[in-house]
Amino acid sequence: MARNVTDLAALLETQSGPDPRTPYSLSAGESLKNLPAQIQIAPKEIKVGWMADLNGYLPMQGGVLEICELALRRFESLNPSVRIDHVSPFFDTHLVWQAWCTWRSTIMGIRLSPYLNQAQNKALMKPEALWEYEQSLGIEAKTLATASIERTRFYQFMLEHFKTHDVLALPAAQLWPFDKTWRWPKEIITPKGAVAMDTYHRWMEVVIYATFAGLPCISVPAGFNEEGLAMGIQLIGRPSADKELLQIAYAYSQTHLNFK
């Protein structure tokens, strides 16, 4: 895993740097030179905010939270600079989901629209894509503006979390790998029972937070269940803190070289 992190650092070093076409690109002074070597310098302190299932909001299949927390606690026990805290979200999870759905449908509708100019193309599109397009048709400017405001509020709440933690941790998935013949999971079997998924992407809601806030994120291995199925952990970093995030991921990899 350590090699995977250094390889990613090498790729980021190649891609990073100022570019006037990308307003959020790093300036010349911030460019990540010799990044694979830099990330091997361990931070003096690593404060991880374990967000788990967001106070019970996200349905999780049995064993997912346990294997992730076990991996984090191992990281803490083998590295004296690491502290793991369980944290509750400052943001309203329901409002964030609604805002994300509005943004996704709007963007997908714009991207799919040119292909629907010809009737025969509709028959070639999967139902989920058509559903996104149809959802986009009912989105008014006021609704999009409200979603934009909520996205900004969500970003500000994430910044509040980073006042006390260097990274935030979430499971990389809400359920274990599933049968490849499924189009998508229609429900998640939690320890408390089955939870139906009301949209085709609700089962992967856990991965929206880093992207929606525009934050760097990396997934690292957590371990396997009794059936040999893999699970991972998302580590979410501060804005533009790509190097610091990779340093933490590399430190994590050093204490999980032989994880099982």
pLDDT tens profile 28-83: 666 567 888 989 988 899 999 999 999 999 999 999 999 999 999 999 999 999 99
227-231 mean pLDDT = 96
Q: What is the pTM of this model?
A: 0.92
Query: Do 95 and 149 contact (CB within 8 A), yes or no?
Result: no
pLDDT digits (tens, 9 = 90+) for 114-151: 988 777 888 889 999 999 999 999 999 999 999 999 99
Query: Whole-number mean pLDDT of the chain?
Result: 92
HEC profile of 58-100: CCCCCCHHHHHHHHHHHHHHHCCCEEEEECCCCCCHHHHHHHH
